[in-house]
Every structure is written in C-alpha cells, then in structure tokens.
Structure 1
C-alpha cells in the first residue's frame, strides 16, 4: 500500500503539468489565465514533492521533501484568492494586500523549515504520515488558508446567486462547490486525520486540487470561464455588448439564447427581463 500513494501523486503531478501546458497553449493570456496557471503549478509542485517524500527511506529525507512541498501548499491560497476576486468581481490584485500576504507566506515557509509546522513524520499504511506541531505558526497557517478559501467560497456563492445568465450561474456553482469540497477533503485528510491518529485515511490534500481542476474543465470549455468577457475585461465587454446599436446575442451549442443586447430585444419585440 505504501507504494500506491507515491505513484498516484506522480500521475496527478503529470495531470497538473498537462493542465498548465493546455492553459498556456490554448487560452488567451489574460491575468485570470495566469492566476489559474499559478494555482495549478502550486499543486504540481506539491504532488511532485509528496511523491518523493513517501518514497524516502528515512524520516529526515521525508521531512525535507515535505518542507520543499510547503512552497506549494502554503502559497496556493494566494493565487486562489486573486483568481476568485478576478473572475467573480473583476478586481485586480491590490499591491498592498499582495505584499502583506506574500510576507505571511514567507513567514510560514520559514516556519516549516524551522519545524514549527510539520515537525515529525512516521510510517503509516500509505507512506510517511506528517504530524503538525502544536505551535502558533500552525494555528496561523490554519487560519490563513481557511479564511482565504471560505472567503473564495463566499465570493463564488454570491456570484452564483446574483448571476443573471445561466452560463454565469453555472460558473459560480462550479467555483463554489469545487473550493468547498477541496477544502474539506484536504483539511480532513492532512490536518484532522493525523491530529487524531486516523491512519486509515491517506494524505490526499494535494490530490484534492483535482476536484477544483475537474470543475475548471467544464467551466472553461463549456461555460467560457477565463474568456475575455470575464474578470478585468467584464465591464468593458458588457458596455460594448449592451450599447452596440446592432442586434447581438449569445447562443449555446443548441441554439438557446444565453444573452441578448437591447437592440436584439427591441428587434424581437420583447422586453428585457
């Protein structure tokens, strides 16, 4: 059993890497696309290092790989936050907020290398089990990532409930459920289970990113997430669409109307709902 998890981690690393290549090759280079790439790269680094950690022959080597992986599992909430702000609110990253959160990430990474986060490992049925130190740095880390992910869930939920178009409602629903599911799966497997010595649960937090990535596939390919009408370009797109004198409409692949501007509504003799 101890060989299965490293192999799964490495396969997932290849999946993350493929997703990065796809985003670079086929998606328009918007800031949202770049933030999405940053998130996936964090999970890729995390999975790659965890694969090596579970294959390590000694606890010292395993702890070293867990510490290297901290660059992934500590930094990833940062691009997640700015990604959700971009696609749900069209808000650009604030320099002061970015600076403060980057400093917090630096502090937490150094805390990991000092042994104030993961400070001990032991052999379990699925490989090395990482144990958390009962330290202020650990509690700060839990507050840091929990607050960001819950705030992202709130942004997605609000976007979902307030969206007027079916496509945007689908985007909001996917953004909400994937971040919530990933949070609970990762927290239970990598934080709660080791604390209560539930060794039958494999540490799969880095694999929980697949939940989010699996949601991004239909969100991007079917519902147009990361397209130019979202995020920073949303206001400009909506103004151009609404006030163009020519009739314009967006239809899905089945020919069903997703949205129409005022000129199209007037030409059809309908009223805007």
Structure 2
C-alpha cells in the first residue's frame, strides 16, 4: 500500500479513537456525542481515501469515492452543531429549523454525489495517489464550496468569540487551541484540494483527510492539557467550598490557617489575606480548649475531633457552632493539614427555643380549650333546657317537629303558646353567633318571648315590633331572624287561619290538601334587633282541613353537598309534595332523610329545625 494510503488509514484510526475517547469522558453529554459523530465522519473520509489512492482501476476509485461522500458532505453540519453546543447557543438549538439548516444541505449533497457527479469531474494520477479535477463549471460545485466554507468560518468565529468572552483562563486556552488547529487544517486543505485543482495545478493528491487530523490533534491536546469536555474535579470542589453555608477552615499541622471559604469572612469578618499566620483557635472564644483538642489529634493521629464552641466575630459577637476537624493525610498516612468545618447553631438553637415556647403555649391552649369545652357543655344543657320537651297536643291542629344539631352550639330556637281562646302561637328563630354567647342570648329571647306573648301574643306584627325594641335596648350587638304566627280556628266551617309576621327568616311553606299545590308564604320584614326603625308586615292565610304549614330554620335550605351546592327550598318542596298524602311525621322524616342523603356523609354544619302543622 502506498504511503498516502497508510497516512489516511492512520488518520482514520486516530479520528475514530478520538471520537470514542471523547464519548467515554461523559457519555451523557451532547457535546461529547457530537464529537464522536464528527470524528466518525472524518474517519470514514480518511478510510475510503486510503483505498481510493491505492485503487487499481477507475471503477474501484469511483466506488471508494462514492462511499466516502457521507463523510466529507456531512461533517460540516456535525461540526457546526458541535460548536453551537460548545459555545452555549442553547436558545438557538431549541428551534427546529436550526437542525434543518445544519443537516439538510449535507444530506442533499450526499445524495447528489451518490447518484451522479457533483464535485469531481475526473481524477488525475499524481505520485502515490489521485488528485480531483473539480467541476468548476457546475453550480453544485460552487454551492458545495460555499456550504463548506460558510459553515467552517461560522464555527471558527463562534469559537473565537466564546474564548474571548470566557471568564476562565482554561476556556480561553481551549478556544485558542481549537481556533489555531481549525484554521491550520482548513487552510492547508483549501489550498491543496480546492485552489490548486481550480487553477489546474495537479501536483499533489487529495490531502484533506490528512490535514483534518490537525484539528483532531487540537481536540486531543485540549482534553489532555485543559480537561476539555471532561469534569474538572478541582473546579467542582472549589465551587462546592465556595457555595457551602458552613464555615470552612484549612490549616497546616500547627493549626495555622492556610485557606478559608467566603462564609468565614462574611460571618466572622476574618480575612486571611490581612491576618496571615493566624492560628485556628484564635477564632474561638474558648480557644485554649480547642487548641488542646487540635494538638492531641495531631500528636495521637486521631482521625478527627468534634467540639461545641463559639466563634468570635470582628464585632465581638459570639456565634455558637458545632466544630468538626479531620486530618488530611498523604499516601504514606502522614498528616499534611486539617480541614475544620463549623456548623452555625444559631438557627438550631433558635428553633429549640421556639419549640419550647410553642410547647408552653400549646399547654396553655389545651387548658383554655378544656375550660371552653366545659363552658360549651353548660351551654348545651342551657340550650336543651330552653327548647320544648315535646310538642303540644291540640284538638284542631296536628303538630310535628324534627331537628338535627351541629357540633358547635347553635342558636336555633322554637316555642309554642296555647291561648285561653284555643288559638295556638308558634315562634321559631335563629340567633346570631354560636357557643356560649348564643346560648345566653337564647335565654334572653325565651324570657322576652314569654313576656311579649302575655302582652300582644295575638298580634304577630306588634309582637315582632316589641321584640325588636327590647333586643336593641338589652342586646345591642346581637340579632336574630324569626317567624311568629298564630293559628286561629273557626268552629262553624272547620277552617283555620294562620296569621304571621316574619323578620329576615326563611318564608313558611303551605301545602294544600285539596289541590296538592305548594307555595312559599311571603311577608316583608328585616332582621330583629338591628334597626330601631324596622318595619314588619303581617300576612293572613286561610287553611282548610288537611292543609299543612311548615316552618324551618336556614340550616335546612343551606345544607351543602360534597360540591358545596345548597339544598335550598327547591330541594325541600318536592319532598313535601311527594309525601303530601303520608302522615305529618312521615313527611318530616322524609325531609330529614333527604337532607342526610344530600350531604353525602358530610357533617351537619348548622342546626336544623323543621316544624309541621296540619289542620285536623
């Protein structure tokens, strides 16, 4: 085999080896994978040209020339992609059209060369190989030259600018090596394989695959000399030291400080550059104890020691710290220095203090909660004592009640009054607030109810006005919603009349037995106990045998399901209508069952009271 073939073989093997070597440095890095792809293109180019120069016949020559086309057509795209990655053009590489621009031209030129002529019109035997006769009259030739030259120039400029702007000297040197070797390789290749053949000066065979090895040598030199495309553990350790939050001190075996991390200067105000020769224990409040521990560790060659001490800042402040020291040994086990790490304990001590304070506060809170629960127990007993033990029995009207209690003490209340005339008064209300205050307010409401009933219990509007005045005078910060009504009965036609007044409370509902119709009974009125000038209307409703009237608190209509939707009057009316022929108790049970199903297992959020009245 002729010398040019051997040199091309050598170049191909070295390029392939460099690609594999760079990949092994960091197989996951895109830069290293692109280096492998570029080197494989060069290797294919050199390998095929080794056999091209030794081809005994034209057919063999054309075979190896066509086989080499992917190598010398595609390497520019891989090389520019490599440079864009190296120089950190990540935002540009995030765009899909960039990859089309990188690789589409090379693929087109490869396809053109394989299927026909694009670059070389003929080959001339020169010495130990062949020189290419360029197709200077073909636009494909000049397009290819522009493509190769443009991509190469762009890559060299990008590397040059990257090195110029790089803050690290190591990166500047890497860029310098890459630029020099790239320019050298491309200049030689351009002169021998493009300029000389273009002026019909065929003195040397095609040497580009050999000159490309100069660039490969630059990559190898950068890797070996400046750790190019590999992780610099020294740089990484320096970065870790720089960023660590603990205090770090490096001393010699005498305890003299050699190096510190920025936290020492930031927290303690100590700068080794201004105070050379300082011993480590001089930074501590109890320096003598730390010095003895340090000397004992060195003399006995104990691997480490730990103490709790206090650093002294430049302002005289003491910083508690957990101090750990470890000996640095050489390959023979002799101490070379000591690494000392101080962990600032201020946050930990502050946290312990806060935990103690919080624990004490929780103990106080538990005692207060116990007292509140005790008071709530009293409030529950008060509320229970205020409500009727049972509904009254009446000759003209059937009465039923159902209730469900929330976890908190609520303010729902109802009561009945039987007049000497045989009429029946009913009062239902919901007071503001919860807990003990609501229970105490209910006590006042019951007292006022009993008192006002004796004065104007047969006049619902007057009843509400008197109740409003009394509450404003006696309980200015509380209010309630309520309905007060009276059932009067006619002995002549077995009819009845419901006369009522309403103050901000859910409207009563009437169900007509004859028609099955159901409706809300509207009546004007505002909150009770809030406004001195509050006005209340009075409404009269004629009732026949079998007709029913329902009174209820807002806990019924404001019951929520799992999706936080309200039950509403719209949810209650169908139940009352569908159970209109059932007994009054069965209808009330159906309403409670409907509420339970609507909650879907959720808790009772507010007290629920529903009263039913049916004319006999």
Task: State the alpha-carbon separation in 1 of the partners of residues 50 and 32 from structure 2.
Answer: 27
User: Paired residue for 2:46?
Assistant: 47
Secondary structure of 2:226's partner?
A: coil
Q: Secondary structure at the match of 1:41?
A: helix
The alpha-carbon distance between structure 1 residues 247 and 140, as it changes in their structure 2 partners (threshold 3 A), is: farther
Distance 1:89 1:121, change over 3 A: same
Equivalent position of 2:224 in the other structure: 221
Confirm or deny: 8 A CA contact 1:30 1:228 kept in the other structure: no
* Alpha-carbon offset, residue 36 of structure 1: 0.5
Contact 2:130–2:206 (CA under 8 A) maintained in structure 1? no
The corresponding residue for 1:257 is none
2:111 match: 110
Q: Equivalent residues in 2 for 1:16-95 (5 A)?
A: 16-91=15-90, 93=93, 94-95=95-96
Cα distance in 2 for partners of 1:119, 1:17 equals 30
Higher mean C-alpha deviation, range 23-32 or range 155-164: 23-32
Greater alpha carbon shift after TM alignment, 110-119 vs 22-31: 22-31
Could you say if the C-alpha distance between residues 206 and 198 of structure 1 is closer, same or farther in structure 2, counting changes exceeding 3 Å? Answer: same
Normalising by the residue count of structure 1, what TM-score does the alignment of the two structures yield?
0.81
Cα distance in 1 for partners of 2:79, 2:220 equals 16
CA separation of 1:122/1:201 partners in 2, compared to 1, >3 Å: closer, same or farther? closer
Cα 1:95/1:165, change in 2 over 3 Å: same
Match of 1:210 among 209, 213, 225: 213
| 2:124 maps to 1:125 | no
- Indicate conservation of the 8 Å contact 2:19/2:39, yes or no: yes
User: CA 1:242/1:162 → structure 2, altered by over 3 Å: closer, same or farther?
Assistant: farther
TM-score, normalised by the number of residues in structure 2 = 0.38
Contact kept, 8 Å, 1:62 with 1:128, in 2: the verdict is no
Tell me, in whole angstroms, the C-alpha distance in 2 between the residues paired with 1:173 and 1:37.
Answer: 21
Paired residues of 1:152 and 1:179 also in contact (CA < 8 A)? no
Aligned mates of 1:168, 1:264 — CA distance in 2: 30
1:178 and 2:177 are equivalent in the alignment: no
Asked if 2 retains the 8 angstrom alpha-carbon contact of 1:125 and 1:199, the reply is no
Q: Who is 2:336 aligned against?
A: none
* CA distance, structure 2, for counterparts of residue 53 and residue 12 of structure 1: 15
Q: Tell me the equivalent position of 1:198.
A: 201
Give yes or no for the alignment of 1:137 onto 2:137: no
Larger relative helix fraction: 1
In structure 1, the residue matched to 2:158 is: 155
**In 2: Cα distance, 1:225 partner to 1:216 partner:** 8
Is the CA contact (8 Å cut-off) linking 1:119 and 1:131 kept in structure 2? yes
Paired with 1:63 and 1:89, the residues of 2 have a C-alpha distance of 40
More displaced stretch, 133-142 vs 118-127: 118-127
Give distance in 1, aligned partners of 2:120 and 2:264.
Answer: 59
Q: 88-97 vs 54-63, which deviates more?
A: 88-97
Distance 2:265 2:141 in 1: 56
Please state how far the C-alpha of 1:24 moved relative to its aligned partner. 3.5
Q: Distance in 2 between matches of 1:151 and 1:11?
A: 29
Work out whether residues 130 and 205 of structure 2, in 8 Å CA contact, stay in contact via their aligned partners in 1. Answer: no
Rounded Cα–Cα distance in structure 2 between residues aligned with 1:263 and 1:164:
23
1:233 maps to none
Cα distance in structure 2, aligned partners of 1:129 and 1:210:
19
Question: Structure 1 residues 70 and 246, CA, compared in 2 at 3 Å: closer, same or farther?
Answer: farther
Structure 2 unaligned regions, length at least 5: 233-238, 249-260, 275-616
Matched, 1:166 2:169: yes
Q: Distance in 1 between matches of 2:167 and 2:75?
A: 30
Separation (CA, whole Å) in 2 of partners of 1:81 and 1:247? 45
The residue number in structure 1 matching 2:101 is 100
> CA 1:245 to 1:155, structure 2 compared with 1: closer, same or farther past 3 Å?
farther
SS of the residue aligned with 2:133? strand
Verify the 8 A CA contact 1:32 1:87 in the aligned structure 2. yes
Q: 1:88 to 1:263 in 2, by over 3 A?
A: farther
Query: Mind listing any 5+ residue stretches in structure 1 that lack a counterpart?
Result: 230-238, 249-260
Aligned alpha-carbon RMSD (Å):
3.0
Paired residues in the alignment total 252
Mapped to 2, the partners of 1:192 and 1:79 lie a distance apart of: 25
Q: 1:123 to 1:82 in 2, by over 3 A?
A: same
Within-5 A mapping of 1:250-265: none
Instruction: Using the TM superposition, give the Cα deviation of residue 265 of structure 1 relative to its aligned residue in structure 2, in angstroms.
Output: 8.6
Query: Does the C-alpha gap of structure 1 residues 265 and 180 become closer, same or farther in structure 2, counting only changes over 3 Å?
Result: farther
Deviating 4+ runs (over 6 angstroms): 239-242
Question: CA offset at residue 196 of structure 1?
Answer: 2.1
